Amino acid sequence: MNHLDDDAELYALGLTDRERDAEIEAHLAECDACRARVVTAEAAAASLAAALPPAPAATSRRAWWPAVAAAAAVVFAATTAFEANSARAANAQLARNDGALVAIASSHFGHTTLTADSGVVAKAIYARDGAWCYVVATGAPRGAHVVLHQGTAARDMGALDGEPGTLFVRGAGRADEVDVVAGGRTVAHGTPAY
């Protein structure tokens, strides 16, 4: 593939179309010169962002995010210690605060938003190899359980804990479906895509 030329700057500004983005990212993986050009352009674009007014905080129904993010960091550290170590070593030049983000950014997991009853927001993140699954829900009834379905088998993995309710399942396997069940009713439901 040819070098990116002006598309390096247009990509950094978010102005290339998404099909072209895939080609650009493939090229960046193997071309140091274009990667350096994109990194420079992204720095300039980030400066443009610095002049934007601040955003109001999101409403509380988005409050599950920090729990997911924190849990993802813990899960990642526990399950891929080797990769985390190499990421940390390579990351020495970055700001100290970026370390956890960098480690997670190097991991491989999927996530899905569960279809949920009104008032419930639930999310599942899961290792692509089925090593673990983490479910977090806001607004779920107290004592709601996580049920994983695999083929015809359904396994109750236990109750969500806290608010937002969270449950980390080790050795989850590649469940076909993830349910949050309360009082015999499914209040949230989703399908992981490994």
Residues 40-79 that bind another protein (CB under 8 A): 40-59, 61-62, 65-66, 69-74, 76-77
Interaction with another protein in 10-29: which residues (CB under 8 A)? 10-15, 18, 21, 25
Stretch that binds another protein, among 80-88, 129-137, 160-168, 177-185 (CB under 8 A): 80-88
Site size with another protein, rule: CB under 8 A: 72
- Quick one: 20 exposed, middle or buried, by C-beta within 10 A (0-12, 13-18, 19+)? middle
Smallest distance from the beta carbon of 183 to another protein, in angstroms? 29
The structure tokens 């999927």 sit at: 110
Burial class (CB in 10 A: 0-12, 13-18, 19+), 151: exposed
93 sits near another protein (criterion: CB under 8 A): yes
CB of 12 to another protein, least distance (A): 6
Of residues 74, 148, 143, the one with CA closest to residue 109: 74
User: Could you tell me whether strands 177-182 and 145-150 are parallel, antiparallel, or unpaired per DSSP bridges?
Assistant: antiparallel
